[in-house]
Chains A and B, each alone.
Chain A
Amino acid sequence: MSDLNQQMAAKYQNNFLREIEEQAEMGEWVKMCMQCGLCSGSCPTNFHAGWDHPPQELFMMIRAGKRDEVLKSNSMWMCTSCYNCYVRCPRKVPVTHVMHGLAEYAYRIGQSPKNQPTQHLSKTFWDNATKTGRVNEVKLTQSLYFKDGIGSGIKKAMEMQAVALGLVKAGRLNPLEAVGIAHKCKDIKGIHAMLAKANELEAQHKAEKAKA
């Protein structure tokens, strides 16, 4: 992973904007930002408390070539995908998608912040859901709650007890999933074949981009 990072850094040298344009999905939109601030101002999250940088600052940092700060930023992982910024942007920059593109790229080259909860959830969700073609909710929540150790996991699980029981009662959560008896897709092989093909295409696409 870090090899890829060094390879990319060497390839683009001081042109981080070009690196993002060519390597990150939707990265070509970064140059369209006119720094009006409507995206940051419209963001419903309290980014002062939890974010390193609001989107507009992130865009400017990309142009200023602040490679390490951008890739290691937690901002793109904090986006809740509410799309407020996207619908309001006067330049029609798909801000939400750019944030996701940046997150994926930082992760791909091994520069994303370690143990970041959103990243952890994304990875866990993906592994969980692609296994049987359906999400195993019990295992997913378990892995999320116990991310930071047993103590905090039990505490979190106790907090959410009432919600879990409600879901069981409503038939939305099957406790047997804990022991691996879970609902699954009819054609798991087919799903896996599709995912394998998609992975192959994406790897090919990214390798081409990296070479170009």
Chain B
Amino acid sequence: MTSVVATNQTILVVGGGISGMTAALEAAETGKQVVLVEKNPYLGGRTVQLYRYFPKMCHPTCGLEINLRRLKANPRIQVLTLAEVTGISGDRGAYSVSVKLKPRHVNSNCTACGECGRAVQTEIADEFNYNLGKIKAAYLPSSMAYPQRYVIDASIIGTADAERAKAACKYDAVDLEQQEETISLNAGAIVWATGWQPYAAEKIVYYGYDRFANVITNVEFERLADPHGPTGGKILRPSDGKEAKNVAFIQCAGSRDENHLRHCSRFCCMASLKQTHYVQEAFGDAGKSTIYYIDIRAIDRFEDFYQKVKTNPNVSFVKSKVARITEDKAGNPVCNGVNVEGYKRYATAHDLVVLAVGMEPSVKGMDIPGEVMSDSSGFIMADPANAGIFGAGCATNALDVNRAVQSATAAALRAIQVVNKVARAEA
């Protein structure tokens, strides 16, 4: 049985992405007790799935490493991975929360040596890489994974493969007897930081994401460019593994659309501008990027970044929302539409089309136990009715990493105010 120490002066943070980690650290560093609950087997969320950040083009591993050091140094944070909140009762200052813990089947003896992964034969979809490849059913989610511990996938439990993993382990770290359990804990305030999901691109029927192999999403493109990704950092298109030197980026794929996501997702313009750098770096002058856009929203200080990309002769901009993607005989995706500058039709073939899909809040459709107010897009609003539950990061709005961190810090402060009040009352 997992034991967690928590009182009404404890802050519960739901979601261990960049926002949840930030909120947990900020609160713990002021002396508060924090429980951080993460659904995945690792912390870092979507941020660790990025190749690089804009605007400085640095690697997320850097920022993550700093946060992990803060986390390891802080005894007031208890981290629960493979954990999901299933019920909340009570009110501001006195919540009772039930948390379902899934078994990892690997205990803290694990040294991440990788012997179990080599022993296991079954392969499963590689979720960390957006299912672009396969991995062994005993795996380390990513090289930066925290906790740095393997996971035995539930699908092989009870098979010979699981026994092979156990036999291969020299440290007695594989525990096939672990069971799912539900624990309950107290909390005075809750920070809800469940982040976002890339919009389901297949719903934009005329882009044929589920029909054409060479139409991918911006989050998948991040994995293609990443040296730790399924192609080892080579930008190869899925259909035939050919180098994708002529890449189209389609902006507002789902965003700013009453039929899909009604909000502007804010980060996608910058993400595509950033990704033109990947094409340029991989292929030099042979790498061509085309951005199809309604209007470029490189908000506030990012305008400089946009202006710099504009001066690159290998990047062209077409003011038009692509109306349809077709495929030519060579398997190249063809963008069809009308260019707003001159109102002429175009049908342009590319090696690869990247849909700059927007952010859908993870809370949308999720059954948040308890009463939480959200806006018409499903983002959590700041509302007195939410009592001691505070949204943070992309659960509250479409934000880039920088703004998500600011939002998380603000949420931590509100949670601290609640537990301070509890502390004064109990004193």
Interface presence of A121 (CB below 8 A): no
Given contacts A36-B252, A36-B321, A41-B324, contact A92 B294 (CB under 8 A): no
Question: Which residues 298-353 of B have a CB within 8 angstroms of A?
Answer: 319-324, 336-340, 343-345
Given contacts A56-B338, A90-B259, contact A38 B323 (CB under 8 A): yes
Interface presence of A141 (CB below 8 A): no
B258 with A41: CB separation less than 8 A: no
Q: Could you tell me the distance between the alpha carbons of A91 and B336 in the complex, rounded to whole angstroms?
A: 20
Q: How far is the CB of B284 from chain A (nearest CB, A)?
A: 32
Which residue on B lies nearest to A34, using beta carbons?
A: B294
B336 with A41: CB separation less than 8 A: yes
A53 with B343: CB separation less than 8 A: yes
Most buried by A among B252, B338, B345: B338
Interface presence of A57 (CB below 8 A): yes
Q: Which residues on B sit within 8 Å (CB–CB) of A87?
A: 259
Fill in one digit per residue for B248-291: 1 if any A CB lies within 8 Å of its CB, else 0: 00001000111110000000000000000000000000000000
Interface presence of B206 (CB below 8 A): yes
A37 with B252: CB separation less than 8 A: no
Q: Which residues on A sit within 8 Å (CB–CB) of B257?
A: 90
How many A residues have CB within 8 A of the partner chain?
A: 19
A35 with B258: CB separation less than 8 A: no
B252 with A90: CB separation less than 8 A: yes
Q: Which residues on A sit within 8 Å (CB–CB) of B258?
A: 89-92
Q: Which residues on B sit within 8 Å (CB–CB) of A54?
A: 338, 343
Q: Identify B337's interface contact among A34, A37, A89, CB under 8 A.
A: A37
B256 with A90: CB separation less than 8 A: yes
A41 with B343: CB separation less than 8 A: no
B343 with A56: CB separation less than 8 A: yes
B324 with A36: CB separation less than 8 A: no
Q: Could you tell me the distance between the alpha carbons of A53 and B104 in the complex, rounded to whole angstroms?
A: 62
A41 with B323: CB separation less than 8 A: yes
Fill in one digit per residue for A8-33: 1 if any B CB lies within 8 Å of its CB, else 0: 00000000000000000000000000
Q: Which residues on B sit within 8 Å (CB–CB) of A90?
A: 252, 256-260, 321
A41 with B337: CB separation less than 8 A: yes
Interface presence of A40 (CB below 8 A): yes
Q: How far is the CB of B216 from chain A (nearest CB, A)?
A: 21
Which residue on B lies nearest to A48, using beta carbons?
A: B345
Q: Could you tell me the distance between the alpha carbons of A89 and B259 in the complex, rounded to whole angstroms?
A: 8
Most buried by B among A40, A41, A57: A41
Q: Which residues on B sit within 8 Å (CB–CB) of A35?
A: 294, 340
B343 with A57: CB separation less than 8 A: yes
Question: Which residues 76-134 of A have a CB within 8 angstroms of B?
Answer: 87-92
Q: Which residues on A sit within 8 Å (CB–CB) of B320?
A: 36-37, 41
A56 with B294: CB separation less than 8 A: no
B340 with A37: CB separation less than 8 A: yes
Q: Could you tell me the distance between the alpha carbons of A34 and B319 in the complex, rounded to whole angstroms?
A: 12
Interface presence of A42 (CB below 8 A): yes
Which residue on A lies nearest to B335, using beta carbons?
A: A41
Q: Could you tell me the distance between the alpha carbons of A114 and B207 in the complex, rounded to whole angstroms?
A: 40
Most buried by B among A36, A48, A91: A36
Q: Could you tell me the distance between the alpha carbons of A203 and B205 in the complex, rounded to whole angstroms?
A: 43
Q: Which residues on B sit within 8 Å (CB–CB) of A88?
A: 206, 259, 323
Question: Which residues 215-258 of B have a CB within 8 angstroms of A?
Answer: 252, 256-258
Q: Which residues on A sit within 8 Å (CB–CB) of B252?
A: 36, 90
Which residue on A lies nearest to B342, using beta carbons?
A: A57
Q: Which residues on A sit within 8 Å (CB–CB) of B321?
A: 36-38, 41, 90
Which residue on A lies nearest to B204, using beta carbons?
A: A88
Q: Could you tell me the distance between the alpha carbons of A34 and B206 in the complex, rounded to whole angstroms?
A: 20
Q: Could you tell me the distance between the alpha carbons of A56 and B339 in the complex, rounded to whole angstroms?
A: 11
Q: Could you tell me the distance between the alpha carbons of A40 and B323 in the complex, rounded to whole angstroms?
A: 8
Q: Could you tell me the distance between the alpha carbons of A56 and B323 in the complex, rounded to whole angstroms?
A: 13
Q: How far is the CB of B340 from chain A (nearest CB, A)?
A: 5
Q: Which residues on B sit within 8 Å (CB–CB) of A56?
A: 338, 340, 343
B206 with A42: CB separation less than 8 A: yes
- Where the two chains meet, the residues of A that have a C-beta atom closer than 8 Å to any C-beta of B are 34-38, 40-42, 48, 53-54, 56-57, 87-92
A36-B252, A90-B258 known; 5 other A-B pairs, CB under 8 Å? Answer: A36-B320, A40-B337, A41-B321, A41-B338, A42-B324
| Interchain Cβ contacts under 8 Å between A and B, 21 examples | A34-B256, A34-B294, A36-B320, A36-B321, A37-B323, A37-B338, A37-B339, A37-B340, A38-B337, A40-B338, A41-B336, A41-B345, A42-B206, A54-B338, A54-B343, A56-B338, A56-B340, A88-B259, A90-B257, A90-B259, A91-B258
- Where the two chains meet, the residues of B that have a C-beta atom closer than 8 Å to any C-beta of A are 206, 252, 256-260, 294, 319-324, 336-340, 343-345
